[in-house]
Amino acid sequence: MPFTAEQFGILAEKTLHFLLILKKDGKIITCNNRCEMLFPFKADEIKGKYITDYIIDADVKIFKDSIATLSDQNAILSKSLSFATEKEGVLALKFNLTYHNDLIYAAGIDTTEEYKEHRALITLSKLTKTGAWYYNPKNKEMFWSRGCYLIKDLDPDTPMTREKGASFYPEKSRKNVENYLDNLIKYKEPYEYTEKIVTAKGNEKWIKVVAQPVIYKNEVIYVNGTIADVTDRHNYIEKLKYNEETKHLALKGIQSGLFDHLIEKNEVFYSIDFKKMLGLPLDQDFVPEEVFREMIHPDDVEAALKRHLENLNKEGNHYYNFYRLKNQAGEYRHYEVHGFRRKDNNGNTTRMIGNLIDVHQKKLNEKTIAESKNRLQAIVNNGFAYTVLLDIEGRILMTDKESLKIIKRDSKIDPTKTESFFIDVMPLNFKNSFAHSFNEALKGNSIKKEVERINHNGNSQWLESKYAPVFDNEYKINSILVSFHDITEQKLAEQAIKEAHIKEQELSNLKSNILSNFSHEIRTPLNGILTISNLLLNNEPLEDQGQLLNYLEESKDRLLDTMNKLSNFSEIDAIHANLTFEELDVNYLVETSFIEYKHMAEAKDLDYTIELDEACPQTKIDKNLFRLALNNIIHNAIKYTSKGSVDISIDSKSLEKYIYIYVKDSGIGIDKKNFEKIFDPLVQESVGISRKYEGTGVGLSLSKRYIEILGGKIKLKSKLGIGTKFAIIIPKCL
Amino acid sequence: MNILYVEDNKINAMVMDKMLSRTDSKVTIAENGSQALKVVKDKNLDLILVDINLGLNQMDGCELLQRFRKLDILNNIPVFAVTAYAMPGDEQRFINIGFDKYFSKPVNFDKLLSVISSIKGKENKTS
């Protein structure tokens, strides 16, 4: 039963539908009252108004195009149109357009809420590069939102099927992707995956696909899902991964025990070399910390762990630890760890990259070196000799205790605290001998030399010095061991014997020479006398006898002359024949004499000093005669000085070929008139041969004579009551 | 018999000459080594007597002997040392150097003359 016109009218006003009758050009014929929401006029003012004047511009074309397709054969059409209203804003209506007798009957419902949501979703999907899709397994319908098309660079009008959708995946992943969907339909479990696609324009993109089933009566009736373009994120992650891999590759490549400890994950990455050292499987990148800990020597674990925790909590980024680890041969070796710690915002160490170094050999070497050093020290401290170990430049590396004491006392330098050259802490008269021997030792020769020094008590000390080069493993000299053995007693005994022997020999030679000469000188005239007497006794003709008597007289005179000579025979002539000239160190010579009279000067409380010459001049001289001469002068200086000073000095610089030795006193002085007298040779006449080696009291004249014999001179300056200055001038060895 | 006596002391040379002249010998005196070396070339000698000390800075008797020994003409001619060096060991020293006989001064003429006459005897036998 059809509606009556009245019934229909009521229905038209009561419905939620917006009802309009339009001409094909959009002219509104009539509408229900609800349509007043759409237009800025009343329903009864509708005449002559066109719908196209009130819908948004984008919909005008849609409306016109849709209307044009309507015909008797194609009479019904669905379209959404949005109205820009004054009161309600934009209202979106979905219309059912029916064409009948050249009129269009339009019935629309308000879909504004859905429309808004839809627009927002579209905007969101655009912004997040996300698309939505659904799939109906029953009728195989596949729907893609615009976002899906955008991601695939595809025209949104392209009809979509499941096969078409799958075609964007590369062949090898396509099967997997299809399986995901099939499994979802079968097992009703949601899924998500990230895969690579190639878009319609041929671009490679990474997409993340999420799918969720909608179940009705325990059957999947359709599938909802989203597709998101995650290319940027994927590339970023890949890049990170790549960097990480590069780093690990780099770590693997370095031939050293490198590790990367991710503390939060409790994973340690080890380089190949690291694994080789410890015998870890090479194909395993990460080893849990506990496993590693088990490899540490049981005795070291506790301390190592303690250090480890301290390290993690301390300031800065450095990490240092050491322990023994079991290597692949099952032996424990010493290792050191040097690392760099990375911290998070709270200052907790999250990661550590470091180097594990096998220091076993180093440890052993350290031990060996320490042992060798002890051994060396034992050798050095052997108690017999003074021993000093020098580097090749002459710096003191090590000394025995006794030498150290002497060096400290004499030079006020402590070689254990200050870097010192041996030559700087030794007595002046050692230096020449040292420099020469040291250089010889540097050439690889072992040198043995005897040296004499004056010790702090003023006594002469003889040392046998030995210089032994010390070679390293490559037969290079790396140090010189110098030792001094005290041979004073032996030397003094030797010297005493030698001197006694020489003295005896000299005296004996002298005696026999004198005897021989006198015998000759007596026998010669005696020969004449006896022969003449023989001739006279044996009938010599008378005429020759007078002559013979004259000869007799002459021979008698000569004999007498010889006897006179004998009484005048002087010691000096004998000395000449008995001199031994040798090259000597003047500093040493003078210092020896100086020391000899020290006690005498000290007893008189005199200021008694010596100033040696740093050039260490040498002279060629008879030691004994020179000492006699010098000793006389020093002895006299002290003897005639009751207070003040006696100063001895050596000067080799003022004259090119001679050396001055000055003995200056503040004694009574000598009157100029007596200058000659003190050197009067007559004084010498009274001195007998036997006094040659007696040191004192022989008089200055002898000193003068001796020095002259040695090729030198003595000069004198003096003022009565002020003092005297003797200058001994001796030739210099150049 | 020709005898050369090398002696720097004139008195000793003179008295030796007188002594030897008594034995039928002809004595030539040389005062020093160089004179002696000239004489030995000119004269046909039977005996040479040499003093050792021939004065300061002069060739001594020992050196002169060495020179003589190099001369062929003096082969087999005896050379005696006549010297005032008469300390123990001196005789041996001079004999070792090469002197045929050693006579110390003052000269023992009994001994010297007997040696000379024995040389003369030998010569007479051989000639």
Compute the distance between CA of residue A318 and CA of residue A354 in angstroms, rounded to an integer.
9
State which residue of chain A sits closest to B18, comparing Cα positions. A535
pLDDT at A688 over 60: no
**Looking at residue A114, what is its pLDDT?**
81
Q: Please report residues of B whose CB lies closer than 8 A to that of A529.
A: 106
Question: Residue A613 in contact with residue A638, Cβ under 8 Å?
Answer: no
Distance (Å, whole) CA A521 – CA A514:
10
Asked if A528 and B104 come within 8 Å (Cβ–Cβ), the reply is no
Residue of A516, A528, A548 with shortest CB distance to B12: A528
Q: What is the pLDDT of residues A448-499, one digit of tens each?
A: 888 877 776 777 778 888 888 888 767 788 888 888 888 887 777 777 777 7
What confidence score (pLDDT) does residue A32 get?
Answer: 86
- Summarised one tens digit per residue, pLDDT across range A590-648 is 998 998 888 888 888 999 999 999 888 999 998 888 988 898 889 888 888 888 999 99
In chain A, % of residues over pLDDT 70: 88
Distance CA A262, CA A75 (A): 71
What token pair was written down for A255?
Answer: 């031939």
Among residues B72, B23, B83, B74, which one has the least CA distance to residue B46? Answer: B74
pLDDT tens digits, residue range B74-113?
A: 888 999 999 998 888 899 999 999 999 999 999 998 899 9
Cβ contact A551–B14 (<8 Å): yes
Tokens of A247: 């780093």
- CA dihedral in degrees (A228, A232, A237, A243; nearest 10)? 160
Residues of A in contact with B107 (CB under 8 A): 527, 530-531
Q: Which of A510, A517, A521, A524 to mutate to test the interface with B (most CBs of B within 10 A)?
A: A524
- CA pseudo-torsion sign A128, A129, A132, A137: negative
pLDDT in tens, A323-380: 888 877 778 888 888 778 888 888 788 888 777 777 777 777 777 777 667 666 666 6
* Cβ burial A321-345 (10 Å sphere, 16+ → b, else e): bbbbbebeeeebbbbebebebeeee
- Cβ-contact A453, A430 below 8 angstroms: yes
User: Is residue B11 within 8 angstroms of chain A, CB to CB?
Assistant: yes
Between chains, do B84 and A520 touch, taking CB under 8 Å as contact? yes
With residues binned 3-state (H G I as helix, E B as strand, rest as coil), the percentages for chain B, rounded to 5, are: 45, 20, 35
- Say how far apart CA A484 and CA A449 lie, in whole Å: 9
Mutate to test the interface with B, among A526, A531, A547 (most CBs of B within 10 A): A531
Helix/strand/coil (H, E, C) string of B29-79?
Answer: EECCHHHHHHHHHHCCCCEEEECCCCCCCCCCHHHHHHHHHCCHHHCCCCE
pLDDT of amino acid B34: 93
How would you class A275 by CB atoms within 10 Å of its CB: exposed for 0-12, middle for 13-18, buried for 19 or more? buried
What's residue A89's pLDDT?
Answer: 80
Q: Which residues 6+ apart lie within 8 Å of A22 measured at CB?
A: A28, A29, A51, A103, A104, A106
Residues of B within 8 A of A519 (CB-CB) are: 84-87
pLDDT at site B50: 95
Task: Give this prediction's pTM.
Answer: 0.32
Q: Do A520 and B53 touch (CB under 8 A)?
A: yes
Confidence of residue A698 (pLDDT cuts 50, 70, 90): very low
Mean pLDDT of B47-72: 89
Distance between CA A663 and CA A649 in Å, rounded? 7
Per residue in A239-259, pLDDT (tens digit) is 777 676 666 555 544 445 777
- B111 in contact with chain A, both atoms CB, cutoff 8 A: no
**pLDDT value at position A389?**
86
pLDDT of residue A683: 33
Closest CA–CA distance from residue B39 to any residue of chain A (Å): 24
**Amino acid code (one letter) for A640:** Y
A228 sits in the region (left: phi over 0; alpha: psi -120 to 50; else beta) called beta
The pLDDT score that the predictor gives to residue A689 is: 29
Instruction: List the single residue in B19, B53, B104 with the smallest CB-CB distance to A531.
Output: B19
CA–CA dist A622, A731 (Å, integer): 12
Can the peptide bond before residue A731 be classed as cis, meaning omega within 30 degrees of 0?
A: no
Interface of B with A in 35-74 (CB under 8 A): 53
Question: What pLDDT shows up at residue A661?
Answer: 95
Q: How many CB atoms lie within 10 A of CB A550?
A: 12
**pLDDT tens across B36-46, in order?**
999 998 888 99
Between A183-187, A347-351, A458-462, A564-568, the lowest mean confidence (pLDDT) is in A564-568
User: Residue A546: its pLDDT value, please?
Assistant: 86
User: What confidence score (pLDDT) does residue A374 get?
Assistant: 67
Q: Do B109 and A531 touch (CB under 8 A)?
A: yes
Cβ–Cβ contact B12 with A under 8 A: yes
**Statement: residue A574 has pLDDT above 80:** no
Residue type, A259: F
Q: Please give the angle made by the CA atoms of A656, A658 and A664, to the nearest 5 degrees.
A: 120
Is A544–B18 a contact, with Cβ atoms under 8 angstroms apart? yes
Which of B16, B18, B103 would best serve as a mutation to test chain A binding (most A beta carbons within 10 A)? B18
* Å between A568 CA and nearest CA of chain B: 20
% of chain A at pLDDT higher than 90: 7
A406: Cα within 13 Å, side-chain hemisphere: 19
Regarding an ipTM greater than 0.90, the answer is no
C-alpha to C-alpha distance for A703 and A633, rounded to whole angstroms: 7
pLDDT single digits (tens) A46-73: 788 888 888 888 888 888 888 888 888 8
Chain B residues in contact with A534 by the CB 8 A cut-off are 19, 109
Q: What is the DSSP letter of A421?
A: B
- Residue A567 scores a pLDDT above 60: no
Strand-pairing partners, residue B79, are B48
Q: Where are the alpha helices (DSSP H) in A613-655?
A: 623-639
Binary contact (A531, B16; C-beta < 8 A): yes
**Mean pLDDT score of chain A:** 81
What is the average pLDDT value for chain B, to the nearest integer? 89
Amino acid at the residue A126: K
Given this model, what pLDDT does residue A375 score? Answer: 65
Residue B6 has pLDDT above 90, yes or no: yes
Average pLDDT (B65-69) is 92
Confidence (pLDDT) at A13: 82
What was the pLDDT predicted at A248? 58
Q: Are A144 and A56 in contact (CB under 8 A)?
A: no
